[in-house]
A and B are shown apart, each in its own frame.
Chain A
Amino acid sequence: MAEAQAVATPQVRRSAGRRSWRGWQFVGPFMAVFTLVFLAPIGYSIYLSLFQTKLIGGTSFVGVDNYRTALSDPQFWSSFGRVALFLAVQVPIMLCIALLVALAIDSGRLYGKAFFRVSVFLPYAVPAVVATLMWGFMYGSQFGLIGDINDAFGLSLPDPLSARLLLASIGNIVTWEFAGYNMLIFYSALKVIPTSLYEAAEIDGAGQLRIVWAIKIPALRGALLIATIFSIIGSFQLFTEPAILKHLALNVITTYYTPNYYAYQLSFSGQQQNYSATVAIVMGVITMVIAYLVQVRGARKAV
């Protein structure tokens, strides 16, 4: 025993010394970049969120005061409520459309499949700013498409930029932009299903609907989950569309219309960088929690 120990000890020591460096050499470059562009900004945001800068009195450490303010800030919660409503309504609609289009293309019964696929995907290639400006012009009831239609046919269509309809109008823009993107995720998931399954189903006498229901949809579960999580994050980050439409709906889009827009306004108009960082972090944590819950639920179903 004693002999064996004497032999083993230096070996352990040597391998311990070796182990600590080789791995780091491989991950080192990644870790350096990751720290610099990823962890550092987050750390800096957290650092900022612990201070308060006043026009009169300068900067002081306030601990978690900013977080306390944010959690009881009615403007923050109203912006959160708005994106939550957006999420609950827009995301299912968008994903359903994307799913239907993907199934339609995959069915092989569509004439001009490649053209159809590209044209549905094309809006995703249009920058969000351009897309919003374009839709904004169409929505205009004074000088836009809606206005022209009203003039030409003597109608009075509801104003898409009114307080009642604006969120739905933004949902329409976002759906237009991202349905094609999600369609592509679904379509590529459908493509990896082995054709032998379809053959087997046909031999068993299954119709197309039955194949969709029993083979395609279950196979899409993973893709659906990832698309849902992307969409949740996208909804919570809603910014470009309200920021651009602000010029057309000055009074409807408040400075706290969405959490991100609120953070932007706090920082750029109110010079409350500290509180802005707090709002961003709170929102980031909420997003993480919700994304995680959806993921856990999705994974459990898959088992």
Chain B
Amino acid sequence: MTFGRRRLLLSGIAMAASLALGASGCGSSGGGSKSDTSGKSASVSDADVQAALNAGGSITVWAWEPTLKQVVPAFESKYPKVKVKLVNAGSSKDQYTALQNAISAGSGIPDVAQIEYFALPQFALGKSLADLTGYGADKLTGTFSPGPWNSVHEGKGIYGLPMDSGPMALFYNKEVFDKYKINVPTTWDEYIQAAEKLHAADPKKYITNDVGDAGFTTSMIWQAGGKPYQVDGTKVAINFGDAGTQKFTTAWQQLISKKLVAPFESWSDAWFKGLGDGTIASLTIGAWMPANLETGVKAGKGKWRVAPMPQWQAGGTATAENGGSSLAVTAASQQKKLAYGFLKFADIDDGVKLRVDGGAFPATTATLQSPDFLGAAPAYFGGQKINEVLAQSAKNVAPGWSYLPFQVYANSTFNDTVGKAYISGTTLQDGLKAWQEGSIKYGQQQGFTIK
């Protein structure tokens, strides 16, 4: 009545158009980042890096790893002219989203970014990271344990220095295990029995939590000997039908179907609370976990212990990596020498000890073998020499695993597909098959050759 037809139409158009407008704000074309600052072929010696550090400047570091907070002041006091701005731009996928946005926009890009091993190929392939070969990174073979060192290679380039590693182990709450007379499981069969026994004794307690976590699932398949991803440059094969994958799905499906895993997302408030009050009795997780337990789960002090990862065959020793990060220099950085200097300080030199003291798990072989490191007996773990267990796990990581060159994207759709197994009648194996199909489709769209 009061509104004319035309005016309404216009307001309708306006509103609808702002829908398109909202999405276009983030649509800056992906090609903008391929600037002249690739840093390739330029050979930079250690002396050049040293000179740059002495000359000074400022760099921005994006990382969520808590122990870097101690590394930055130490670095700045060693090189007083260098200012480091440490920014926590979110953990894992949140940071990758922010980083990808900054790179697409071509501004606000940090000089150094923490990037997990699974995500490194995607950023390297997108030419977002500087190749560190020219900075002498190619001479560092042997400095890092082989798993993480292989992970920072992409093609002929080296796109980051390993900061930590995550060989898996079984972290368990001894108090809960003792109370319900549960033996520490050494095989996954025993683990399932333990899960049943615990949940039957107290329906509020669970052996572990799981609501569908791509990193955990792929690591478990890795340990079981599955090799769902075969990557050769831009040729990719994806197959979750192999024997290793099926070993995992058969076992884990039982835990899901019988509702023996707590429905908390990892890193949520409920999760931290559950780790402290015994609701979540164990975690099969990377060796970087102690620092997180000590800072995030104060209530668990003295209760937690570490045991070798349960095995698929009694007497086996195979483990897998779970997470672990590198520090990488961005291709757009104007301070690559300073950035590389920071990488070396944090990942090889003085920074390693500071970070290990803070509870991080190193990737450097020297530290992994040092008696100081192996002999550490933190009170949080009741004086157990946990690093002996964890360092042993680092040696037993099953070889031959690779991640997709678009793993960040693939992981973002994990809960669309495999997640169905946690809320409906879909099985894990069917979920993985759907995930595989989605990943293949994306790979094809992105120009990969899918076998």
Contacts and interface: CB of A to CB of B under 8 A. Distances in A.
Contacts of B273: 143
Contact of A255 (B101, B212, B412): B412
B11 A229 contact: yes
Given A56-B448, A277-B24, A280-B20, A270 B424 contact: no
Interface in B136-180: none
A222 B270 CA distance: 48
A142 B15 contact: no
A63 interface: no
A284 interface: yes
B22 A54 contact: no
Contacts of A270: 409, 412, 442
Given A55-B126, A260-B22, A268 B100 contact: yes
Interface stretch (B25-33, B66-74, B357-365): B25-33
Given A268-B97, A288-B13, A291-B16, A296 B25 contact: no
Contacts of A302: 1
B92 to A, nearest CB: 12
A254 interface: yes
Contacts of B19: 233, 236-237, 260, 280, 283-284, 287
Contacts of A122: none
Nearest to B12: A291
Interface in A13-66: 38, 41-42, 44-45, 48, 51, 53-59
A260 B23 contact: yes
Contacts of A281: 20
B366 interface: no
Contacts of A142: 263-264, 270
A214 to B, nearest CB: 16
Contacts of A251: 211-212, 415, 419-420, 422-423
B308 interface: no
B100 A41 contact: no
Interface size class of A (residues with CB under 8 A): 35 or more
A263 interface: yes
Interface string B20-62: 1111111111110000000000000000000000000000000
A276 B27 contact: yes
Interface of B: 1-3, 5, 8-9, 11-13, 15-17, 19-31, 93, 97, 100-101, 104, 122, 125-126, 211-212, 234, 263-265, 268-270, 273, 405-406, 408-409, 412-413, 415-416, 419-420, 422-424, 442, 445-448
Among all A-B residue pairs, the 9 with the closest Cβ atoms: A251-B419, A56-B447, A280-B23, A291-B12, A45-B24, A54-B447, A222-B1, A269-B412, A284-B20
Given A44-B27, A55-B126, 14 more contacts: A38-B17, A42-B17, A51-B29, A58-B31, A142-B270, A163-B423, A230-B15, A256-B416, A268-B26, A273-B27, A280-B24, A283-B20, A284-B16, A291-B12
26 contacts: A38-B17, A42-B20, A48-B24, A48-B29, A53-B31, A55-B125, A56-B234, A56-B446, A58-B31, A59-B31, A226-B11, A250-B265, A252-B423, A267-B27, A268-B100, A272-B445, A273-B27, A273-B29, A274-B27, A277-B24, A280-B23, A283-B19, A284-B19, A291-B13, A295-B9, A299-B5
